[in-house]
Chain A
Amino acid sequence: EIVLTQSPGTLSLSPGERATLSCGASQSVSSSLAWYQQKPDQPPRLLIYGVSNRATGIPDRFSGSGSGTDFTLTISRLEPEDFAVYYCQLYAYSPLAFGGGTKVEVK
């Protein structure tokens, strides 16, 4: 079973700043990695799939990168609506795995 570890647990930033979120896998994995955003009392929303492909309607300030065991979600300039919890997910392996989440909060 592959374990995903997200860091940091909480990121305190101001609007306009750059956010860099990390997701580490317990072993080398394929490109089947996604990122989701979740706001309070809402379901998750797909941001990135296949490591670096933006989902439909996702603004280009969101980008994904990485390979092997280390993956990154970057938000180039934080907008007020970007403060939320972000999860990475590995979806081509069984069992499917989610990371524990990174909360991006207003500093």
Chain B
Amino acid sequence: EVQLVESGGGLVQPGGSLRLSCAASGFTFSDHYMDWVRQAPGKGLEWVSRIRNKANDYFIDYAASVKGRFTISRDDSKNSLYLQMNSLKTEDTAVYYCARVKLGPMANKAFDNWGQGTMVTVSS
């Protein structure tokens, strides 16, 4: 069974930092692109970042809203995905989900598994 378990959320002051983790199990983690998606309270889904697999040179993308402040990384030996969040703003308050990208051609690369999410609250 595929499992994605996020951790590391919490309350942080504006300007602070937080590191999120996503522990994966039940599949070959190293084969998949992995993403972070967030959802502010009562709002819709917002894509945050993607890291591709080794075969695609671990290429990384960020949403404009987090570029320069957030860093995505992965450790295939630990089946883990990370999101280092620096210079946090109140508008970063959200549930952060890690999501697995479906294998196959680009036309199929939707998010086929999601974690339960971890809440990040940025407030003074």
Contact = CB atoms under 8 A, between A and B. Distances in A.
B111 A46 contact: yes
Contacts, number: 68
Interface stretch (B10-18, B20-28, B39-47, B84-92): B39-47
Interface in B69-124: 97, 101-102, 106-117
Given A94-B61, A96-B50, A43 B117 contact: yes
A99 B44 CA distance: 8
Contacts of B44: 87, 98-101
A34 B110 contact: yes
A92 B106 contact: yes
Interface residues of B, number: 24
Contacts of A50: 107-108, 110
A13 interface: no
B111 A30 contact: no
B98 to A, nearest CB: 10
Interface of B: 35, 44-47, 50, 61, 63-64, 97, 101-102, 106-117
